[in-house]
Structure 1
């Protein structure tokens, strides 16, 4: 068309293009999101099983968390070794250099992060004995409301003023669920408060882990953090006088099952699938964990939720989803 002296109309252009240009190749269909959504759903169901294993474990709740972290350590090291073997030669050399640059400050941070993770597991596992699986899973998901002010005070990150709206909604949900829903029953209230404290410890763990992951290989750091967490949990279990050693093969199989479902299938599938989903959709799927826990609690332990509790849970789910979208959109 470059030698034309006149400008043809749209119809003649289309006709010429249809005659001269070869037919476009058939479009390559990209894999849909359906399989990744299924992966996330399976991951959510696996992660929600944590409270079930704690309730039926032969050992104490803190000791159960210790075994979960202990069994996760070799799994994470195996993943780290596999990633190192597949990495190009240049990345392997860079990874080797990073491994030799572990400072004393980073070692102290690893120990601190492991202790925060241990605090998270100890409190969360104990909360399953006093409150419902749904409430324990839900209240532990209030991390966004703790991370945001921590990031503001520690690093000066901007605190989105719009976060005040979901925060107020979350307070309303907490009031409905914890105060109105439980009628201030001391046992139930204790479990809810332990689950809330879990969110604080997990937020502190994420703050520490964030800096370590930026300087060192993630799976190796997580393996070390898990080992520190296991040691701390065993120490706490001993101080609390918990039963530490399973007395049957079934007891050991339950602990291995906890590690496989929560650490291997749950965490691995979740980490893989969320990379291929929009952040808002991934956040929404993650919030299905308390719903899955509620189903487990109902069928396995006859844990029934009142309409008031369901209302409080709904308010909290909306507030957490809202807050996650705001924080992810502000990055």
Structure 2
């Protein structure tokens, strides 16, 4: 089979499409013919050797959807021919509040979905919602589960609340916007690109602010929103203090990223005087994965697909992702 292989950390030249042996299915596992996979920022970090536990050589890729072509001994929940979506969260464990010591995500260290076939535990596949196209289904797993847990489990979102999503454009941010809007929240966004703000409004955002052109973007956003009840942040850095300022008393900030680096000089008096809840989150449980798919199906939401590449165009896909100009998910036809 064809698969993307990374033999050592480095630049785009380290991405090689090779012929490798098809995985052999063991008891309790299934083999999925991957119709479409999807990209995540994680794949770039893996290639650069910047992801915890990364080992080379590696077949990257967490997200994918396809058809079951082989089942191992003892598998009863799925049959050959079933169209499925893959849950990339492996071995979450028994505690829904936090993953256990054996937890990992498909793609590292276990071979991932950027290949024609992938082997996964049978419990990690779920029937593909019939209304979704293959690329839409493949786009959902990692980002959709992360967004669902951030909004509903950790963020405790309620209808009518004001939600702020900084840095709209990436896959997880668009999932946050779609789900929060469907849940009845009033959503506001920030971006360095006016076009992305307009696209967000088309998806249901009330409004947004360009933090690059507006010097006092936080004050502008505060005036628009009256303050935020829930902020879901992936940026960190100096932006985080602005978000603490923006938050209403008794509100929540959920964080699962720090693209701008560590938060320096956190304004602790505002945190405790406002009685803020600052919560970390990462991926989600099998139950949250299933709930996310059900939520999308109930509301018939279509994930936003920005661009699709072929597996042979993996270098172009990585380069495009690193530019950060996409709005929605990047997918790979396998």
TM-score normalised per structure 1: 0.25
> Relative contact order (alpha carbons < 8 A, sep ≥ 6): 1 or 2 greater?
1
Which has a greater percent of helix? 1
The structure number with the bigger radius of gyration is: 1
